Amino acid sequence: MYRKDGNPDGNPYRTHTAGELRAEDVGERARLAGWVSRRRDHGGLIFIDLRDRWGVTQVTFDPDSGEVFRAAEQLRPEWSISVEGEVARRPEGNENPELPTGEVEVVAGSLRVLNESLTPPFEVDRERPVDELLRLKYRYLDLRRGRMRENIVFRHRVVKHMRDYLDARGFVEIETPLLTASTPEGARDYLVPARLYPGQFYALPQSPQQFKQLLMVAGFERYFQIARALRDEDQRGDRQPEHTQLDLEMSYTTQEEVLNLVEDLYVEIVEGLSEKKLGAKPFPRLTYREAMERFGSDKPDLRFGLELGDVSEIARTSEFKVFRGAVEGGAGGSVRGIAVGGLGDLSRREVDELATIASLGGARGLVDLKVGKDGGLSGRTAKFFSGEEGEALRAALGAEPGDYMFFVADAKDAVVFESLNRLRLHFRDRLELADPEELALCWVTDFPLFEWNEDEGRIEPMHHMFTMPREEDVELLDSDPLKVIGQLYDLVANGVELASGSVRIHRPDLQQKVFSIVGIDAEEAERRFGAMLTAFRYGAPPHGGIAPGIDRLIMVLRDEPNIREVMAFPKTQNARDEMMDAPGPVTPEQLEELHIAIRMPTRRGPEQPPREAPNV
Ligand code: ASP
């Protein structure tokens, strides 16, 4: 692309990039363009680190160069320049082994200032922490920084690899509309008023789910898309209003095929493009039940042990009321624990802090017991357990002398799991149990098709309502829907969910049944999902797919703490675009055209969930 010979017919700004000159080029003429990264004035000479997308090259200005030198004296950080000169070997002792171009410099013969720069609001050339709001407001400067540039370029490579991989396997990339009708994925829709249809709205897609299934009815067999998914959720933690997923779908396929396809792709990406060490291969497969019982989570981090042990049977006959109470009555409660070594002796306050962590998962208390050198137990509640029971507790958790055992007892299994999951992850970080270089991928399968939404008192799909039940469970749809297992799968890495997918329902009668279980009657189904239900009546093939999230994958591969670091233009945690200042008001004329009148809320701020009535 660039003319190495500096031919005047070539690019007027550069003959080389700032990342490519090497010792072999010494003696050649080169023209470089980019930003002034740093200027140092030294022993009468001026040194510029000139930065472009490909790297940094040192440029020197000699006072003998007269006017050029005087122009260089004016240069400030982030000015855009083009310099031309001879490539020279750096004087001995001045090489920079950290830079690929570190053996050479360009001795400037001419300098063109292409554009000056205001003093940047933060130093672009240093990797010092900068306030994130400022970074987002001046994202175009933030993106000039090395770490961000590498993240974005890395992201491009991963996405390109996905495209090539799928293309080689017969997949077709097809775009689906942004302005469309709602496809529910469990979040709120972003709505767009339709000017031509007063009072009516398009919904931005929460995913291309219905379209990809319709593309299967249309016979494309293998579809993918690097798709944007828009979900208007309250901004908890690491959510963004828009995220990108590798959306894919196949016809005449099975769960096994989808898993193998994605697994091979991820092995290639991790081993071929990243510096991460891949964990077990093939990826371990755990059923949802197994993941919960062993790790207390359907997103298990497999890089370390601390697996849960179930002591419900021991609890059933225990004198200790907290234990017995949780499992009595057979209402689905349990008592489970983890054994943790290397903690020494914990103070009362430290144990209380652990109880606070467990309480975030709902636990109303944490039982701690320490195993002595002789195997005996100590702790506030040790007196409730006979020697035999103590032995059984130890055996159930695999506790060694010197270990602590922590137990959570609750009438709800989900509380026990979530509380112990939080403790397990706390100890992972506190005791540095997980290798930060490792990426331990696994599949979690056999999720329940539905879950019970306690707050709203109704059944909800665990993933979405287009998921096929396991064949052997179809009968249970009528009798006990919460027991039905779906053909549903998640890909998980180091405790983070990277992908979700399922085999889909392709028969209209079954689809209608699932709709009615989640409270959508035939009329509403026809209104909301009419196209899909009708399409299913035209010989819809069996099909299934998955949608790996791209932002999260890049985040874990690049060791970034959140997905904003791997998106070029993310929103803030409050869902604002600081740089473009969006959302913002529109003119009365625009509202008029849309037939919209604004009624301002009386109270500002995000909507609060309704408070639960206090127990009296
Ligand atoms: N549409 C789903 C999602 O976005 C993924 C899938 O089922 O393929 O989470």
- Of ligand 1's listed atoms, the one at least distance from the Cα of 546 is 8
Residues 589 and 456 in one domain: yes
Per residue in 360-395, pLDDT tens?
999 999 999 999 998 889 999 999 998 899 999 999
Residue 132's nearest CA partner among 145, 117, 119 is 145
Parent domain of 67: 23-115
Question: Who contacts 493 (Cβ-Cβ below 8 Å, separation ≥6)?
Answer: 439, 440, 441, 442, 553, 556
Residues 423 and 497 in one domain: no
Phi, psi of 371 (to 5 degrees): -90, 120
Residues with CB under 6 A from ligand 1: 185, 207, 209, 229, 245, 500-502, 545-547
In a domain? residue 237:
yes
Q: What is the DSSP letter of 52?
A: E
**Does position 178 have pLDDT exceeding 80, yes or no?**
yes
- Tell me the C-alpha distance between 183 and 212, whole Å: 11
Query: How many structural domains is the chain composed of?
Result: 3
Q: What is the DSSP letter of 561?
A: S
**Does position 454 have pLDDT exceeding 70, yes or no?**
yes
Which stretch, 272-276, 464-468, 597-601, has highest mean pLDDT? 272-276
- Tell me the C-alpha distance between 539 and 427, whole Å: 53
Per residue in 229-264, pLDDT tens?
999 987 676 789 999 999 999 999 999 999 999 999
| Domain boundary pick from 92, 115, 138 | 115
Q: What is the DSSP letter of 609?
A: P
Are the C-beta atoms of 298 and 290 separated by less than 8 Å? Answer: no
- Tell me the C-alpha distance between 66 and 378, whole Å: 83
* Span from the CA of 609 to the centroid of ligand 1 (angstroms): 26
CATH number for the domain that contains residue 180: 3.30.930.10
**Does position 520 have pLDDT exceeding 50, yes or no?**
yes
The token pair at 326 is 């949780």
pLDDT recorded at residue 614: 36
Residues 559 and 529 in one domain: yes
* Span from the CA of 547 to the centroid of ligand 1 (angstroms): 5
Average pLDDT over residues 557-578: 95
In a domain? residue 616:
no
**Does position 615 have pLDDT exceeding 70, yes or no?**
no
Q: What separation in angstroms does the CA of 33 have from each of 4, 51, 295, 351?
A: 14, 8, 54, 60
Residues 268 and 346 in one domain: no
Are the C-beta atoms of 353 and 346 separated by less than 8 Å? Answer: no
- Of ligand 1's listed atoms, the one at least distance from the Cα of 249 is 8
Using DSSP's 3-state secondary structure scheme, residue 236 falls into: coil
- Other CB atoms within a 10 A radius of the CB of residue 164 amount to 11
Residues 277 and 370 in one domain: no
- Tell me the C-alpha distance between 6 and 11, whole Å: 8
CATH number for the domain that contains residue 406: 3.30.1360.30
- Tell me the C-alpha distance between 48 and 38, whole Å: 6
Dihedral sign for Cα 531, 233, 299, 269, please: positive
pLDDT recorded at residue 6: 47
What's the full length of the chain, in residues?
Answer: 616
- Tell me the C-alpha distance between 239 and 493, whole Å: 18
Torsion angle in degrees (nearest 10) through CA of 569, 127, 556, 279: 160
Average pLDDT over residues 44-52: 96
Residues 448 and 589 in one domain: yes
Region of poorest pLDDT, from 5-19, 454-468, 490-504:
5-19
Residues 493 and 555 in one domain: yes
* Span from the CA of 502 to the centroid of ligand 1 (angstroms): 8
Give, using CA atoms, the residue closest to atom 8 of ligand 1.
546
Residues 111 and 155 in one domain: no
In a domain? residue 293:
no
The residues with which 171 forms a beta bridge, in sequence order, are none
Give, using CA atoms, the residue closest to atom 4 of ligand 1.
207
More confident residue, 6 or 428: 428
What is the per-residue DSSP string for 163-203?
HHHHHHTT-EE----SSB----SSSPPPEEE-TTSTT-EEE
Residues 174 and 41 in one domain: no
**Does position 616 have pLDDT exceeding 50, yes or no?**
no
Give, using CA atoms, the residue closest to atom 7 of ligand 1.
501
In a domain? residue 64:
yes
pLDDT recorded at residue 604: 58
In a domain? residue 573:
no
**Does position 575 have pLDDT exceeding 60, yes or no?**
yes
In a domain? residue 39:
yes
The token pair at 430 is 């506190």
In a domain? residue 139:
no
CATH number for the domain that contains residue 110: 2.40.50.140
pLDDT recorded at residue 9: 59
* Span from the CA of 247 to the centroid of ligand 1 (angstroms): 7
- Of ligand 1's listed atoms, the one at least distance from the Cα of 206 is 4
Residues 261 and 343 in one domain: no
More confident residue, 235 or 359: 359
Read off the amino acid at residue 416. Answer: V
The token pair at 185 is 């994925």
Q: Report the mean per-residue pLDDT for the chain.
A: 93
What is the percentage of the chain residues whose pLDDT exceeds 70? 95
- Of ligand 1's listed atoms, the one at least distance from the Cα of 247 is 8
Question: Who contacts 611 (Cβ-Cβ below 8 Å, separation ≥6)?
Answer: none
Per residue in 394-442, pLDDT tens?
999 999 999 999 999 999 999 999 999 999 999 999 999 999 999 999 9
Give, using CA atoms, the residue closest to atom 1 of ligand 1.
209
- Tell me the C-alpha distance between 231 and 239, whole Å: 9
Question: Who contacts 414 (Cβ-Cβ below 8 Å, separation ≥6)?
Answer: 362
| Domain boundary pick from 412, 432, 452 | 432
- Tell me the C-alpha distance between 133 and 578, whole Å: 7
* Span from the CA of 237 to the centroid of ligand 1 (angstroms): 20
Average pLDDT over residues 196-200: 95
Residues 168 and 259 in one domain: yes
pLDDT recorded at residue 56: 97
The token pair at 537 is 């009546």
What is the model's pTM? Answer: 0.91
Residues 61 and 196 in one domain: no
pLDDT recorded at residue 607: 52
* Span from the CA of 216 to the centroid of ligand 1 (angstroms): 15
**Does position 5 have pLDDT exceeding 60, yes or no?**
no
In a domain? residue 330:
yes
Read off the amino acid at residue 206. Answer: Q
* Span from the CA of 534 to the centroid of ligand 1 (angstroms): 21
